[in-house]
Structure 1
Amino acid sequence: MSFVYHIIENRRRYFLFSAVLLGLGLAAMIASLVSTGSPLRVGVDFRSGTRFEVQFEEAVDEGAIRDVFADFGLTSPSIIALRGTGLENAWQIRGEFVAPETAQDILSALGEVAPLRPGTSQVTSVSASVGNEVTRAAIIAVIFSAIVVLFYIVIVFRQVPNTFRYGTTAVIALVHDLLLVLGFGAIAGLVLGWEVDALFLTAVLTVAGFSLQDTIVLFDRMRENIARRPFEKIDRIANRSIVETIHRSLVTQLNAMFVLVAILLFGGVSIRPFIATLFIGLLAGTYSSIFIAVPLLVTWEERILARARTA
């Protein structure tokens, strides 16, 4: 037998590896909570604030930009120089929420520092109520997806004994992936200063879909093999199912990951956090489907059988 055929037998290593990654992410979220007041460094999309994106015709010093905002009472804005093709002398400034009239006055004041390139200035403002609504909608979307998948698996896998365990382990794998993505977001916020915005939410929901798809494909193959080999042990069925589907899963995910790596290396800086989050999420989804969801299901089944024998 090949190494791949012994995946289930090595499940404790995978569980330990995931525990370490989750622990690092949890530690980063705690550190972020202490330093920023939030488990993740949230952007304007999730809290009240105003974001300015401007591009000057000539080079401008960060201190000059900060002085302009200080004149309007904004003493601690987040100022980031944007890098990429066509982004010469481009800046992104995030600060407290200001009225639209004040935002236009700030743009005019920035234009006095140096001429602004026409058609490049953008101002995005989000009130506290809108930020709370976006956060609430994101949480509801993830919970709703988990419930739908749970019921879907219970209905589709109704011919397999204990279908609820399949749905439960799929949801656990989903939570595992989302926690890894959140941990990555916390680490990136602490190390790179990346903020969580609407694109981050898009990446999280995309990861949820890919993760559940991979897990359902594996469980469906297990369902077929259980029907074909009703007397074979669950661990052998699980190993066999993984071997039969791993090539398809890896090819599908690797194609997407190669594209993401290319965009990450050669794309603009503004979408880099989104692409990096999506890449980590897809990687986690592929890993959890094979090394977390199925081994966890086998462990659950074996413990139930062991208790039945000793009863």
Structure 2
Amino acid sequence: MHLFKNTNIDFLRHRKIAYGISLVLILAGMVSLAIRGLNFGIDFKGGTEAVLRFDQDISIGDVRSVLREAGVRGMVKSYGTDRSVLIQTDFEGDVNQLKTIVSTALNDRFSDNPHEMLRIDAVGPSIASDLKWAALKALLGALVAILIYVGIRFEFRFAAASVVAIFHDVFIVLGLFSLLGGVFDFMPLDVDQSIIAAFLTIAGYSINDTVVVYDRIRENVLGRKPSEYSSIFNASLNQTLSRTIITSGTTLLTVAVLFIFAGPAIRGFSFAILIGIAVGTYSSIFIAAPIVLDWQLKSKRPIKLRGSN
């Protein structure tokens, strides 16, 4: 199926503009990370998290005030609906003790609005530190594996460009988590293990798109002169455009439905995937292949891909 037939879009002509847009987005994210940081879930910072659901709508300010008087310090916010409340605290005592304190305080104050504790989780500081380090190792391990795979299948500059594109995608999504973290009650953007899974998914999706373009470049570069590389890269991007748009579009629709209708527990995950797929599609067209071309133009070395002459 071809959504776009015989397109002749000059993608490479606009690559410097794309570099500029990407640089602005990454720098904005880095500034936000330096100033605001990230909202880490209890997986990575430790503490206790509880989700409550009341029978009727309730004021978050009233709940926050009651819990503060009961000695429970931390963050209290809506959790998807006006009847559900998320509590995050650094309480280090027994979980059952915290549950008793919270339930007693709320029952005394809101006796006409009963509540149910849907979930309560606790993670110690040492476990949180171990989980954070394990997540970082997983991300770095995935990038090294991709670098080796693409380097063997194509050549080093193709592998390096693909890893740059993945960093580009992940940093933009991470920057958005920093910029928007804590802004919307309906969409908690806490960085936890599910978000690390989202980043790994984004990396896999991005490299898949990029390798499809690289494969078409390899087919078209056979027997061609370096002076023809610009037209070859453009032709390859146009030839894979239909496949890229159809694949990304159908995936985006599915993830968009998940983002809209799924509960707040996985809304952060679906948001990361949604933005990551869109940015990954952009980077496979405007970042990965153009970087390889610019590298070749500066080094003036012919492209010697595996299987090419």
Query: Normalised by the shorter chain, which TM-score bucket?
Result: 0.7 to 0.9
Pairing 1:152–2:149 present: yes
What SS is found at the alignment partner of 2:120? strand
The superposition leaves residues 41-100 of structure 1 with CA deviations (integer Å, 9 ceiling, x where unpaired) of 21212101111101122344334422443244333x21112335xxx6211111113322
1:4–1:273 distance in 2 versus 1, CA, 3 Å: farther
**Range moving further from structure 2, 251-260 or 293-302:** 251-260
- Total equivalences in the alignment: 290
**Equivalence for 1:142:** 139
Greater per-residue helix proportion: 1
Q: Residue 108 and residue 304 in structure 1: after superposition, are their counterparts in 2 closer, same or farther (change >3 A)?
A: same
Deviation at 1:5, TM superposition (A): 3.3
**Alignment partner of 1:103 is 2:98:** yes
Q: Hey, what's the Cα distance between the residues in 2 that align with 1:116 and 1:140? A: 44
TM-superposed CA distance for 1:286, in Å, is: 0.5
TM-score of the two chains, using structure 2 as the length reference: 0.85
Instruction: Determine which of 84, 88, 96 is the counterpart of 1:94.
Output: 88
The match for 1:79 is 76
Between 1:127-136 and 1:286-295, the stretch displaced more is 127-136
1:255-305 deviations in Å (ceiling 9; x for gaps)? 011122223333333432222221111111101111000000000000001
Q: d(CA) in 1 for partners of 2:101 and 2:230?
A: 65
2:219 pairs with one of 200, 213, 224: 224
Residue 176 in structure 1 maps to residue 168 in structure 2: yes
Mapping 1:105-120, distance limit 5 Å: 105-109=100-104, 110-112=106-108, 113-114=110-111, 116-117=114-115, 120=117
Deviations 1:114-145 (A, max 9, x none): 46455x52101111112212211121111111
Amino acid at match of 1:168: A
Kindly indicate whether residue 67 of structure 2 is the aligned counterpart of residue 69 of structure 1. yes
Match of 1:236 among 223, 231, 247: 231
Letter in 1 for 2:191: V
Secondary structure (helix, strand or coil) at the match of 2:222 reads helix
Residue 128 of structure 2 is aligned to residue 131 of structure 1: yes
Equivalent residue, structure 2, for 1:258: 253
Which residue of 2 is the match for residue 35 of structure 1?
none
Q: Please, which of 276, 279, 295 is the counterpart of residue 281 of structure 1?
A: 276
Partner of 1:160: none
Gaps of 5+ in 2: 1-5, 302-309
Hey, what's the Cα distance between the residues in 1 that align with 2:8 and 2:181? Answer: 36
Paired AA for residue 247 in structure 2? T
RMSD across aligned positions (CA): 2.4
17-26 or 255-264, larger mean C-alpha shift: 255-264
Instruction: Look up the equivalent residue of 1:40 and give its one-letter code.
Output: L
Q: Could you say what secondary structure the match of 1:233 adopts?
A: helix
Give the CA deviation at 1:230.
5.4
Q: How far apart, CA to CA, are the structure 1 residues paired with 2:205 and 2:284? A: 10
Structure 1 unmatched runs, 5+? 33-38, 158-162, 307-311
Find the residue that maps to 2:91 and give its secondary structure. Answer: coil
3-state secondary structure, aligned to 1:6: coil
SS of corresponding position for 2:50: strand
Contact 1:68–1:106 (CA<8 Å) still a contact in 2?
A: no
Pick which of 253-262 and 52-61 moved more: 52-61
Corresponding position of 1:57: 55
1:20 aligns to 2:20 (yes or no): no
Aligned to 1:164: 156
Residues 212-266 of structure 1 show CA distances to partners (whole Å, capped at 9, x for unaligned) of 1111111111112122545662212211111111111111011011122223333
Report SS of the residue matched to 1:58.
Answer: coil
Say yes or no: does 1:211 pair with 2:206: yes
Aligned equivalents of 2:52, 2:138: Cα separation in 1: 33
Task: Please tell me whether residue 295 in structure 1 is matched to residue 290 in structure 2.
Answer: yes
CA distance in 2, matches of 1:9, 1:61: 54
Q: Matched residues in 1 for 2:77 and 2:66: separation?
A: 15
Residue 197 of structure 1: CA displacement? Answer: 2.3
Measured in 2, the distance between the counterparts of 1:111 and 1:54 equals 12
